[in-house]
């Protein structure tokens, strides 16, 4: 009994960390799930939960404390993050960029690592960079032609649909290591809307946003599971491209330069960029090796 309570509490804490990361532009919740040693288990439960009653119940037991923790993490961080971005945008987004770039070595290492079931590691070939270049280019183009922050001034069918779509995209990004759901919200112009809704408890906006979550989660789990089984190296290198493109996108994003652009702000931004990069490198060393991560 004590072991079960301790295990659920640990899942709740990890869920809170994942939820907090979900609202940080540039920080991939999928990468944090890997660092928490939960990626293989999460993907397995999502892909198998409708195959039998037992698997469905197992998935609920696993997912409930994780989901509750994520909700707590989102609400706990949203108000403080909104204030930080308003007052110190450049240093905050520089930290996000460092966190993203620090994930690149982790994904590359997982791409070419030796596994017990496959003692022959994947070998690098020159064409492996092609999916990375394509993915990077797509993100940069998306960032250049991003939608302006439109906000939800009036709830109607169109804005309601966009909120559901935004929720699906954000939660789907949890399953794709290296993809920041919050940064996707930045690119489609709904980040401040959702962040403000979380910090002010706007139930209608949050409910529409949450409605898209399960849709994105299950679709992404199926798609990423298929591609990881059939095209592991190509999928991983595309993720590397998304990561690098996201860093470029952060510095293309006009909101990055909304505040703290003086000398001390630039110095703080440089320091936090390096600190974020180093932090992810350090955390990746604590990654559990027996989880069947990617």
- Euclidean distance between CA atoms 274 and 285, whole angstroms: 17
Highest mean pLDDT among 61-65, 154-158, 245-249, 264-268: 264-268
Is the model's pLDDT at 73 over the cut of 80? yes
The whole domain housing 267 covers: 78-284
How many Cβ atoms sit within 10 Å of the Cβ of residue 218? 18
Q: Let me know if residue 55 belongs to a domain.
A: no
Could you tell me if residue 192 is inside a domain?
A: yes
Distances (CA, A) of 130 to 116, 176, 190: 28, 19, 31
Number of domains forming the structure of the chain: 1
Mean of pLDDT values over 217-240: 83
Kindly report the average pLDDT of the chain as a whole number.
80
Is residue 85 in some structural domain?
yes
In degrees and rounded to multiples of 5, residue 231 shows phi and psi of -135, 60
Query: In what helix (H) or strand (E) does residue 138 lie, and over which residues does it extend?
Result: helix 129-144
- For residue 289, pLDDT over 70 is answered with no
Per residue in 176-216, pLDDT tens?
A: 766 778 777 877 778 878 888 887 888 888 888 888 888 88
Which of 31, 17, 19 shows the shortest CA–CA distance to 246? 31
- Whether 70 maps to a domain, the answer reads no
For the chain, how long is the longest CA-to-CA vector?
60
Over its C-alpha atoms, the chain yields an Rg (Å, rounded) of 19
Measured CA distances, 212 to 5, 105, 206 (Å) = 30, 31, 10
| Residue 267 within a domain | yes
The answer to whether residue 203 sits within a structural domain is: yes
In a domain, 272, yes or no: yes
- Whether residue 3 is contained in a domain is answered as no
Question: In the chain, pLDDT over 70 holds for what percent of residues?
Answer: 86
Report yes or no: 15 and 68 within 8 Å, Cβ to Cβ: yes
How many alpha carbons lie under 13 Å from residue 93 in its C-beta half-sphere? Answer: 27
0.85 cut: is pTM over it? no
Cα–Cα distance for residue pair 125/267, rounded to 1 Å: 39
pLDDT tens-digit readout, 103-154 = 788 778 777 765 544 545 567 788 889 999 998 998 788 777 765 555 556 6
């Amino acid at each position: 009994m004590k072991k079960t309570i301790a295990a659920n509490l640990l899942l709740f804490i990890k869920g809170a960390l994942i939820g907090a990361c979900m609202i940080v532009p540039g920080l991939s919740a999928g990468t944090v799930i890997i660092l928490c040693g939960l990626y293989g288990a999460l993907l397995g439960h999502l892909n198998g939960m409708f195959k039998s009653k037992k698997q469905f119940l197992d998935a609920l037991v696993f997912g409930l404390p994780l989901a509750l923790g994520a909700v707590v993490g989102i609400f706990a961080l949203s108000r403080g993050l909104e204030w930080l971005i308003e007052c110190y945008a450049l240093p905050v987004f520089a930290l996000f960029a460092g966190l993203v770039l620090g994930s690149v070595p982790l994904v590359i290492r997982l791409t070419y690592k030796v596994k017990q079931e496959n003692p022959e590691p994947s070998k690098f070939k020159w064409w492996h960079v092609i999916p990375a270049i394509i993915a990077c280019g797509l993100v940069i183009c998306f960032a250049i032609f991003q939608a302006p922050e439109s906000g939800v001034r009036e709830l109607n069918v169109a804005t309601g649909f966009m909120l559901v779509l935004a929720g699906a995209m954000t939660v789907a990004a949890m399953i794709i290591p290296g993809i920041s759901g919050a940064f996707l919200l930045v690119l489609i112009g709904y980040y401040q809307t959702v962040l403000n809704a979380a910090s002010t408890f706007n139930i209608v906006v949050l409910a529409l946003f949450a409605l898209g979550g399960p849709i994105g989660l299950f679709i992404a789990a199926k798609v990423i599971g298929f591609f990881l089984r059939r095209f592991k190296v190509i999928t991983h290198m595309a993720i590397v491209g998304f990561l690098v493109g996201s860093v470029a996108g952060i510095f293309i994003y006009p909101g990055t330069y909304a505040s703290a652009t003086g000398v001390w702000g630039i110095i703080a931004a440089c320091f936090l960029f390096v600190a974020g990069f180093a932090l992810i490198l350090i955390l990746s060393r604590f990654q559990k090796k027996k989880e069947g991560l990617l």
